[in-house]
Amino acid sequence: MYESATVSDDADRTAFRRAEKNYKLYYEQDSKFSRKKKLPKPVDLSSVLDFNSISQDFNRTGVLPDGIRVAESDSQVFCIENRPGFYFIPNALSLEEQCKWIRESLTSFSQPPNRTNHNAIYGPVADLFDSAKANKVLVQEDANGWKFYDGEEAKQRSCKSVSASVLLRKLRWSTLGLQFDWSKRNYDVSLPHNNIPDALCQLAKKHAAIAMPAGEEFRPEGAIVNYFGLGDTLGGHLDDMEADWSKPIVSMSLGCKAIFLLGGKSKEDPPHAMYLRSGDVVLMAGEARECFHGVPRIFIDEENADIGALESELSHESGHSFAEYIKTSRININIRQVF
Ligand SMILES: O=C(O)CCC(=O)C(=O)O
Ligand SMILES: [Fe+2]
């Protein structure tokens, strides 16, 4: 599901793959500038749905583009006619909430016993964000133990090592609540875990409500936090390991703007491309649970990233480290009812 720089051989075989390739970041090969500064290839973004401007236009004129409607019970929630069960809530999270969940994603959600993509190589890694801030280095102690040291101390140990800032850049996911086992593509209830923090549960319940079967309340039991840097993508996939697909996945976007592809039940169905900005929440319930989706692109350039307000809010904080991280990154927290 996770890719960093390569698209697999069947890149052009399906409509979904073609759309992924269309939006993915590629660099100019023969540009006279390319030796000095890599230039991204221009991409035609004219058919990317922008729910932020759709919402502004709708609030001003009452008019919606073809194929888009608002939810019956809430005119600030948008639906796509041929994708029942999909809901887009632009600007669902306040700036303050966005900052809170960025801080939590970096300092608390990646802490053991929550697992991350680094577990498989290094075992549990504690305090990654603070260690990166302090320029620490992770050093192999013995066959299966790794520990952070200050840079100078690490140099004296002639062991395998990797800097915390490299590991932070390579942090791709962490799992909260019930732990998802990527190798078995299933939840492993035997793994130690903490419950999802109550404030996150309340937020997920509030936003899930519009997509819930009548009279039922969403139960947040597991969550995946995805961390994206420039060039990182999330390949087309289904989230089908939860028992009851009538319950939504609640997906929150933080940081740099991304392109999200919402396909159909077959990868042959041409996907809808849409922007996801910091503070947007997306719900996928019912039939939309059977639709392929993915993230082929994030934008970190000033013109497209759209995080000016967030960056300035975070840069009031000591050390600027959250602002530094988020200006080249995107975080997605998606929350699931597992049973
Ligand atoms: O990053 C996103 O917006 C989507 C994440 C997603 O689909 C997933 O983790 O299953
Ligand atoms: Fe997903």
User: Cβ(226) to ligand 1 under 6 A?
Assistant: yes
- pLDDT value of residue 20: 98
User: Cβ(295) to ligand 1 under 6 A?
Assistant: yes
Instruction: Indicate whether this model's pTM tops 0.90.
Output: yes
Q: Which residue has the higher pLDDT, 222 or 152?
A: 222
pLDDT digits (tens, 9 = 90+) for 309-339: 999 999 987 778 999 999 999 999 999 999 9
Give the residue whose CA is nearest to atom 2 of ligand 1.
332
- pLDDT value of residue 33: 59
Q: Give me the mean pLDDT over the 275-281 stretch.
A: 98
pLDDT digits (tens, 9 = 90+) for 65-106: 999 999 999 999 999 999 999 999 999 999 999 999 999 999
Q: Give me the mean pLDDT over the 4-13 stretch.
A: 56
pLDDT digits (tens, 9 = 90+) for 170-203: 999 999 999 998 888 899 999 999 999 999 999 9
- Unique residue bearing structure tokens 């939504």: 248
Identify which of 227, 234, 331, 333 to mutate to test ligand 1's pocket (most ligand atoms within 8 A of the CB): 234
- pLDDT value of residue 158: 72
- pLDDT value of residue 6: 44
In this predicted structure, the answer to whether residue 145 has a pLDDT above a threshold of 60 is: yes
Number of the ligand 1 atom closest to the C-alpha atom of 330: 1
In this predicted structure, the answer to whether residue 157 has a pLDDT above a threshold of 90 is: no
- pLDDT value of residue 5: 41
- pLDDT value of residue 151: 84
User: Cβ(329) to ligand 1 under 6 A?
Assistant: no
User: Cβ(130) to ligand 1 under 6 A?
Assistant: no
User: Cβ(260) to ligand 1 under 6 A?
Assistant: yes
In this predicted structure, the answer to whether residue 1 has a pLDDT above a threshold of 70 is: no
In this predicted structure, the answer to whether residue 280 has a pLDDT above a threshold of 70 is: yes
Q: Give me the mean pLDDT over the 246-262 stretch.
A: 98
Q: Give me the mean pLDDT over the 141-147 stretch.
A: 83
What ligand has the least distance to the C-alpha of 275?
A: 1
Give the residue whose CA is nearest to atom 8 of ligand 1.
334
Q: Give me the mean pLDDT over the 143-164 stretch.
A: 86
- pLDDT value of residue 142: 80
User: Cβ(251) to ligand 1 under 6 A?
Assistant: yes
